[in-house]
Amino acid sequence: MLEKFTNCMPEVGPVKKFKDKKTMWTAIAAELRHESGIERTPLQCENRLKTVKKRYGNARKHNRQSGVSPVEVPYADEMSKLAAVDYGVFPEVMRGVGRVERNPPHMSQVSASAGQANAQASAVDPWSGAAQERDVAASPSASKRPRTTQSLANFLWMIHKGR
């Protein structure tokens, strides 16, 4: 059921496959009934997901405390995939003071593709929108600097280089 929810969640929206979460849960319950013969209502499926999320959060909270023996985190792999699904709606273009950012169309996909988008986004200078020079980022002290300082250094280097 967690896998079905992970696959269906990006398809919820006014112009997508499922108009709202209620129709998504109805479809998940129907798939469970069809594939495995398990008779569950959409409300039972939704409540089961809430219970699994709560147990997952409680186990992780318990494991973060010092002085306690670790507890096995139930459904850890499935929940990490579920956490990677982006629930937000991103506009195609975000405008700010002196900059325009275009979001790739795959922003609402699973984290694997979002990781690639983060790698591409980090290659763009936030002030000028130009791609960063790889030779500046390869300097030995570059990895020790915070990311914002590194971006500023790259921006200043590009201005100096352009003279």
Is the entire prediction scored with pTM above 0.75? no
| Tens-digit pLDDT string for the chain (163 aa) | 888 888 888 788 777 888 888 899 899 999 999 998 889 999 999 999 899 999 999 999 999 999 999 999 888 888 887 777 655 556 667 788 888 887 665 554 444 444 444 444 444 444 444 444 444 445 555 555 556 767 777 778 778 877 6
Q: Regarding beta strands 99-102 and 93-96, do their DSSP bridges make them parallel or antiparallel, or are they unpaired?
A: antiparallel
pLDDT score recorded for residue 85: 66
40 C-beta neighbours (distance < 10 Å), count: 18
Task: With CA atoms as reference, report the closest residue to 126 among 86, 97, 93.
Answer: 97
CA 27/CA 5 separation, integer angstroms: 10
Return the domain boundaries, the chain: 2-84, 86-122, 130-163
132 C-beta neighbours (distance < 10 Å), count: 19
pLDDT score recorded for residue 40: 92
Residue 97 structure tokens: 């003071």
Task: With CA atoms as reference, report the closest residue to 77 among 101, 46, 44, 111.
Answer: 111
Q: Residue 49 belongs to what H/E stretch?
A: helix 42-64
CA 9/CA 20 separation, integer angstroms: 10
Those residues with Cβ within 8 angstroms of residue 142's Cβ, 6 or more apart along the chain or in another chain? 136, 150, 153
CA 43/CA 49 separation, integer angstroms: 10
The three-point CA angle 104-105-106 to 5° equals 90
- Is residue 127 within 8 A of residue 151, CB to CB? The reply is yes
